[in-house]
Chain A
Amino acid sequence: NAGVMQNPRHLVRRRGQEARLRCSPMKGHSHVYWYRQLPEEGLKFMVYLQKENIIDESGMPKERFSAEFPKEGPSILRIQQVVRGDSAAYFCASSPPGGSSSYNEQFFGPGTRLTVL
């Protein structure tokens, strides 16, 4: 059973360009989460998605950032008009369907390291 897959692993963009980060959850998992990690800091929650639904986007910046998890295909985190402050590691996690229980382990992918020049 393959783990959470993320690609690309490294992404370099110039200021003003768009960044697209992809995440394929573990097989059987229908919940996807995106986190951002700045150097030497903990992970910060961004967004929680289920198939075709955004459940919680309270950690997403109000502008330039968007996320989706379509019926088919990977989840996409999209950053428009990137700025240097967007440089970070972006991690995706997934979990199996778990109803309303909070006891739901999240499995993390290897991350995408975004560098904005």
Chain B
Amino acid sequence: GESVGLHLPTLSVQEGDNSIINCAYSNSASDYFIWYKQESGKGPQFIIDIRSNMDKRQGQRVTVLLNKTVKHLSLQIAATQPGDSAVYFCAENSDDSWGKFQFGAGTQVVVTP
């Protein structure tokens, strides 16, 4: 079936370095993607989104890249801080299943001093 998945389950990053989190998706009909951050014991928090008519979008310290050719999504975090330690999920949605986001398994980001 269609699925969304992540390449790396855990990512250790030194404070101040840049982080890159990857996500692969297999539903070619997916046209909207969101990156969420989830801290321990909390609900997912929206970070940034991107539509399929774009290949790059920037926010504050974050950039999302979308490569529709290879069905790949990435989240780049600049100058990673201790507060960035969390699990990061990509989620995808398509018009034929509107409202029903599919989430990847998540990547644990650990920021070390």
Q: Kindly state whether residue B89 has any CB partner on chain A within 8 Å.
A: yes
For B43, B94, B101, which residue has the most chain A Cβ atoms within 10 angstroms?
A: B43
A106 to B49, CA, bound (A): 11
Contact of B103 among A31, A42, A100, A103 (CB under 8 A): A42
Residues of A within 8 A of B67 (CB): none
B85-113 residues at the A interface, CB under 8 angstroms: 89, 91, 93-95, 97-106
Q: Kindly state whether residue A69 has any CB partner on chain B within 8 Å.
A: no
Total chain B interface residues with beta-carbon distance under 8 A: 27
Check B44 against A43 for contact (C-beta < 8 Å): yes
Check B106 against A41 for contact (C-beta < 8 Å): yes
By beta carbon, the residue of chain A nearest B106 is A42
Residues of A within 8 A of B97 (CB): 56
Q: Kindly state whether residue A105 has any CB partner on chain B within 8 Å.
A: yes
By beta carbon, the residue of chain B nearest A106 is B101
For A43, A100, A106, which residue has the most chain B Cβ atoms within 10 angstroms?
A: A43
By beta carbon, the residue of chain A nearest B6 is A42
Q: Kindly state whether residue B26 has any CB partner on chain A within 8 Å.
A: no
Check A108 against B49 for contact (C-beta < 8 Å): no
A65 to B34, CA, bound (A): 28
Q: What 7 new A-B contacts, CB under 8 Å, besides A33-B101, A91-B43?
A: A42-B103, A42-B105, A44-B103, A102-B95, A105-B46, A107-B46, A108-B44
